[in-house]
Amino acid sequence: MNLEPTTQSRRTFLSDTGMGMTGLALSSILFKDGEAQAAVAGSNSHLEAQAKSVIWIFFIGGLSHLESFDPKPALNKYAGKSIEDTPFAADVLDKDKINKNLLDPSKQKREIFKAVMPLQTGYRRYGECGLEVSDWFPHMGSCADDLCVVRSMWTIDNNHGAQLTYHTGRKITEGAFPTVGAWVSYGLGSANRNLPEFVVLGNPSADCCGAAWTHGSSYLGPKYAGVRLKVDAKQPLSFVRSANEQLTVEEQREMFGLLGQLNRAAGIQYPDDKELQARIRSYELAFQMQSTVPEVMNFESESKDTQQLYGLDQSDTKAFGAKCLAARRLAERGVRFIQLFHGYTGNAGAWDSHIGIKSRHSKLAKQVDQPIAGLIKDLKRRGLLDETLVVVGSEFGRTPGAEVRKGRSDSQTGRDHHPHGFNIVMAGGGTKRGIVHGSTDELGFHAAENRHYVTDLHATVLHQLGLDTRRLEVPGRKRLERDFGEVMNDVIA
């Protein structure tokens, strides 16, 4: 029998040995083109960057703009009356005005609930700027002079597919497209060789509303997608571990040293195989992350005062407070985009308050208010707020009219989805402080002054990081005019 030696390909060798790591999950944190990304933030930027990192906080389900940062006293004045019986009826109920926002009104028609619902909580003015904030967000109110509130956002989807639209600008029926975080990752790369450039904390949207697409990279490739981490020092990234748990750190390092030599040989043999280059470099970075990420998620070095600032000493605020503290620690270590989710339920999201908005929103606001305020205050006292842009938002707002649900005793205690006008909040990162930009009408129905589609927010975030949204295009992948958005110049300091 004539036995010939079997030649095993480099790709097969790596696939078989595996090192116990999941290549696909790690591909989003690889080195580009065989070289580490520049260690200096903004080195690949188009413009002069005002910010180095973004902390993007998303409330799943639809925060009421009316009971957060855009309170409307007219709702109390006309409570119980039909919108038709208010002085604002003609403008608010204009069908053409209502339908022009929606991408396909014939398939998205929802009833316009006309019974005006009063505000479910009080509000007051905060700071020297006099920002009006609801009583559900007193801690964020105490940061008023550092906040930039945009009250004139709108979107195209009146169902929870808007969660995906908020992150990509596209309707959910169009499928996956690069998210704002992925564009940041693609445009700038990493400022820390040991950490991903795009990190996700918390459970993202459910399958109904975009799921992993809400932090995905689509045609940019998986290496630009968000990497999900747990705020757990013992197991922050379950997909990175040695195949042999008995190996010491020194033994693993020796193995990676050998792998590095093989990498260089493979680079000579297959210089144009970018997929191979990406895969083999994942192992080294994964090894680095095994020590770096647990250190980030370990808060023992944080003072008691800092932990209390985020609410880690309270049951209501501990979980989200830990995510906000982890976000600060990631930002100061050079992670470009940190995406925090709050309100995962496996469906539309906890903030989706069709009934019982008073009890639901008040409980949820208590979970996030102090942690977000703590994050802003902590960044400021450390001198990091100027270079870190904090963004807080939700897929849409909620209706001025009470939602009528037939046959239910708790009918008219909640508000429906509202894409026509809602608010987002920003702080730091070169944005103006203590201002309100844009407005909705007297009932909070339509974005009226300085209207902004959600990709205007994307364009503004990218601009502050030194990226020109119109220069972020991939050959063969045509972007729509709506995809680019327009920078909100009036909010930039």
Q: What number of residues does the chain have?
A: 493
> Could you tell me the domains of the chain?
12-41+232-296 (no CATH), 43-203+308-491 (3.40.720)
Across residues 247-251, what is the average pLDDT?
A: 55
pLDDT score recorded for residue 105: 56
- The candidate with the shortest Cα–Cα distance to 213, out of 167, 254, 258, is 167
Task: Give the whole-number percent of the chain exceeding pLDDT 70.
Answer: 79
CB-CB contact of 168 with 158 (8 Å):
no
pLDDT at 22: 39
The stretch 201-215 carries a mean pLDDT of 96
Task: Check: CB of residue 426 under 8 Å from CB of residue 56.
Answer: no
Q: What confidence score (pLDDT) does residue 468 get?
A: 96
Q: Which residues contact 190 (CB under 8 A, 6 or more apart)?
A: 29, 36, 37, 196, 197, 334, 336
Q: Label the pairing between strands 388-394 and 422-427.
A: antiparallel
Task: Name the CA dihedral angle for 290, 310, 58, 319, rounded to a multiple of 10 degrees.
Answer: 60
> What is the average pLDDT score of the chain?
85
Q: Using alpha carbons, select from 72, 3, 29 the residue that is nearest to residue 287.
A: 29
Question: Per residue in 480-491, pLDDT tens?
Answer: 999 999 999 999
pLDDT of 232 above 70: yes
* pLDDT for the residue numbered 34: 35
How many angstroms separate the CA atoms of 62 and 343, rounded?
10
What is d(CA 177, CA 216) in angstroms, rounded to the nearest whole number?
8
Residue 407's pLDDT band (cuts 50, 70, 90): confident
211: pLDDT strictly greater than 60: yes
Specify the pLDDT at position 108. 55
pLDDT digit string (tens) for 357-401? 999 999 999 999 999 999 999 999 999 999 999 999 999 999 999
With contact defined as beta carbons under 8 Å apart, do 133 and 126 qualify? Answer: yes
Q: Quick: pLDDT tens for 37-82.
A: 333 333 467 889 999 999 999 999 999 999 999 999 999 999 999 9
pLDDT at site 286: 63
Residue with more model confidence, 384 or 6: 384
Average pLDDT over residues 273-278: 51
Whole-angstrom distance, CA of residue 154 vs CA of residue 361 = 21
Classify the C-alpha dihedral 206-100-424-178 as positive or negative. positive
Per-residue model confidence (pLDDT) at position 6: 43
Average pLDDT over residues 401-406: 92
Model confidence over 156-171: pLDDT tens digits?
Answer: 999 999 999 999 999 9
Closest CA to 65 of 144, 146, 120, 111: 120
Short-list 206, 232, 216, 229, CA closest to 183: 216
In this predicted structure, what is the pLDDT of residue 3?
Answer: 42
The yes-or-no verdict on residue 198 having pLDDT over 90 is yes
Q: What is the pLDDT of residues 426-448, one digit of tens each?
A: 999 999 999 999 999 999 999 99
Tell me the pLDDT tens digit for each residue of 75-122. 999 999 999 999 999 999 999 899 888 866 555 567 799 999 999 999
